[in-house]
Chain A
Amino acid sequence: MTRRKIPALAGILILFVFLAGALVGQKSEAPAREADDLLAARDACTSILVGKDASADGSVMTTHTCDCGACDWTWRHVPPADHKPGSVRRILHISQYQTWPPSQGLKWDLVKKDYAGYDIPEVPHTYGYHHGMFGYMNDQQVAIGESSIGNQPKMANSTPSAGMDLTTLTLIAMERAKTAREAIQVMGSLAEKYGYGFHDEGEMLAVSDPNEAWLFEIMPVGPLWTPKSGKPGAVWCAERVPDDQVSVCPNESRIGEIDLANKDFFMASPNVVSQAVDMGFFDPKSGKPFNWKKAYSPQPGSAASTNGRIQRLWRFFNVVAPSMNLKPETANMDLPFSVKPDRKLSLQDVMEITRDRSYGTPFDPVQGIRGGPFKNPNYYRQTRVIDDARAEYTTVTQCRASLPGPIGGIVWISFGSQDTACYMPFYAGVTELPRSFAVGDHWVFNRDSARWAFDYTDFHVQVVYSEAIKDVLAAQEKYERGAIARIPEIDKQALALYKKKPAEATRFLTGFCLNNAKTVVDAWWKLGDDLLVKYHHLFLYDTEKRIYKRGQPAAPDWWKKAVRIFDILMEPDKQETRQGGRP
């Protein structure tokens, strides 16, 4: 050891302590295997439910952050229809994940080839609705959000004996249900009769109407089920969120003990307990009450014990009801089903929760050096926050009892990462969705696809996140909050037309929504262009003054120190020999 190296090593020791704190700053990592499994199974969509007396405007709200990263994002409107007696409705297998190259066609045309082998009796009239990966809003104001929750492994039924996938169930619910309760009964009874699973396993749906929000969970009953068995081909349960409360599902089963005698708050399939007994998940002689989630989809761990991997549940409750002072160390399965928020939530509050990044919590993705010099929350993905850069799209649905179906229901849609996107309203009565919402995929850049406009902006934000996000916030203020502000006047005009002639109201709403969407999509293409110009070469280009500032955006001093510390810590020898050149 040379004398020159001694002080350097002493410095390294001190700096190591400093950097270790900056790098870790949290409790020890979860065991590798547990963390790996959790990442795979519990890292998808988040769905929020808001009761009518828990919202500022009396609307029942649900959300769905459709977090996939490789799925289809396209949307379609299905018009209402009348059907002749004896008509049948063909059942298709529809995968949440499967995509096709655009050259082969669009998903919603191609899935028609995947006949599940069942044609069920059609109803005389099917309602019109909007759908993406799932059905989201019909013209009766029945709305849906989704989150995968998984189930005990032996419950999975990926065999063709399971005729119903989740997507198919939601589409049929849209077609047939006038209330949330009807939607649950439609989906539950079809799954029991024709079997549930195939592409899907345990799933949660947030099912709402203008009066109620229900949290519905459904699971397959194993691969050995056959329609000839005479037993239900699915097991399901639903619990209503109290009107003055809110709930959330972040890829975890949420229903605990159930009281089927309380029909206003619980619904279930006839095998809700017996299935668990038959499969060995519940012992009725144990003396313990039956607990749905513990039997069918147990999820050990807490936000703290998993180092933030499953922190969304705790985080949501902590955001809406900080007065409850819920602890991240509390096991997720012990957290409440729903809570009364400290204050009623507005539409904008709910949208912002879908953008939550857990800033300022022990799971802050930009604390220390995690986010790099420009505090990019997408660099550090150990923590699973509610906002997800992989989102295909996100929905916020509103069901409003004070207005007729076509006007009362709104599904707000944003594409891509929630923080850099913009919610656009589509009333339930809208008879057409933008063409740009129906095309595009992840593998072919497409300027005709609305989704790519938002990815285009999102991409250019990543370079200097802390600076560029300010431009996005300004655009959101103008276009998203601008649209929210216009809704009362649009409602008023639509209602006046509706009273005279409902078809005129739907034409008016369609025009408003299509025009607004086009304006927003165009604005986001331009925003992407502007960000590219403004921050290219990592300098700040002032397009009005036609000057650029080489020192801006400036990397903060703490970052420069962190870089020096890293160099000394990780490559001390190279500090003495590096002579420049390319890395």
Chain B
Amino acid sequence: MKHPSTILILAACAALLTAGAAAGQTVPKVGLPVLTTSAGQSTDVETLNIVMEEAGIKYDYCDVPTADMLLAGVGLGGRQSGPGFHVEITTDTAKFPAGTPYKAVFIAIGASLKGMGASGLTLDSEEARLKKLCEICKQKKIFIMAVHIGGESKRGAAGSDNERMIDAVAPYADYLVVTKDSNKDGRFTKISKARNIPMAEIEYALGLVDIVKQVLL
């Protein structure tokens, strides 16, 4: 039997290689603070938030942040939840006081008419909001990680609600993370190649836990 430390080193190397292979490219390092949000108001953003909690990462969350809120940084300018509008501030303000600019925005892509209806949004207004949000991120050099974990069934046909959300966000992303099931038709691979955006494919949402740690910690 090999020495335990050798096994551990080998295992660590294997894990790194696996992560690299999964990503296909190096995982970008960005750091905190981070804002999580939705493109299309599906429940996939709740999955993203659970991933953050599983990874032990503190974050700010808003389902429909405006450009002003994004620019207000940590704490989102003191905005509070209300009907059809949800805010959750868990960022460690001892490390990142209110107003600290966000280094990253994680966007869970997934269209839900029910979710948009609850937030008083239409497809057009959600598209417009996301466009503005992404433009501000580009201007302020805020890292955008776009996540699609809804799978093939929720992708929809060309022109579908979900596809419009992908078009609104994915081309602006600095990093794409998608489940294999979401990318069966190579849609995200094409965007990744065309825009030179690094991309990671994962099997399940669980695979996102290690990725967010690598990006943020």
Contacts and interface: CB of A to CB of B under 8 A. Distances in A.
B153 A93 contact: yes
- Scoring A222, A223, A224 by chain B CB atoms within 10 A of each residue's CB, the highest score goes to A223
Given A40-B118, A117-B181, A160-B181, A223 B83 contact: no
Interface string A178-209: 00000000000000000000100000000000
Dominant SS at the B interface?
Answer: helix
Contacts of B60: none
Interface stretch (B29-37, B66-74, B126-134, B144-152): B144-152
B151 to A, nearest CB: 3
A83 interface: no
Interface size class of B (residues with CB under 8 A): 20 to 34
A160 B151 contact: yes
A202 B58 CA distance: 27
A283 to B, nearest CB: 19
Given A40-B118, A160-B152, A160-B181, A153 B46 contact: yes
B153 A224 contact: no
Interface stretch (B9-17, B97-105, B167-175, B204-212): B204-212
A226 B205 CA distance: 9
Interface string A23-54: 00000000011001000100000000000000
B82 A159 contact: no
B205 A159 contact: yes
Interface in A542-573: none
Given A32-B83, A40-B118, A117-B181, A224 B151 contact: no
Contacts of A93: 153
A310 interface: no
B84 interface: yes
B81 A33 contact: yes
Contacts of B179: 159-160
B42 A224 contact: no
B159 to A, nearest CB: 13
Given A33-B81, A33-B83, A93-B153, A154 B205 contact: no
Given A159-B47, A224-B51, A226-B204, A33 B82 contact: yes
A137 interface: no
B82 A223 contact: no
A158 interface: yes
A158 B44 contact: yes
A224 B209 contact: yes
A233 to B, nearest CB: 11
Contacts of B54: 224
A222 B205 CA distance: 10
Given A160-B151, A224-B50, 19 more contacts: A32-B83, A33-B81, A36-B84, A97-B114, A154-B53, A156-B43, A156-B46, A157-B47, A158-B47, A159-B44, A160-B179, A160-B181, A161-B206, A222-B50, A223-B47, A224-B51, A224-B54, A224-B206, A226-B206
21 contacts: A32-B83, A33-B82, A33-B83, A93-B153, A114-B153, A154-B50, A156-B43, A158-B46, A158-B110, A159-B149, A159-B151, A159-B204, A160-B150, A160-B182, A161-B205, A198-B153, A223-B47, A223-B205, A224-B50, A224-B51, A226-B206
Interface of A: 32-33, 36, 40, 93, 97, 114-117, 153-154, 156-161, 198, 222-226
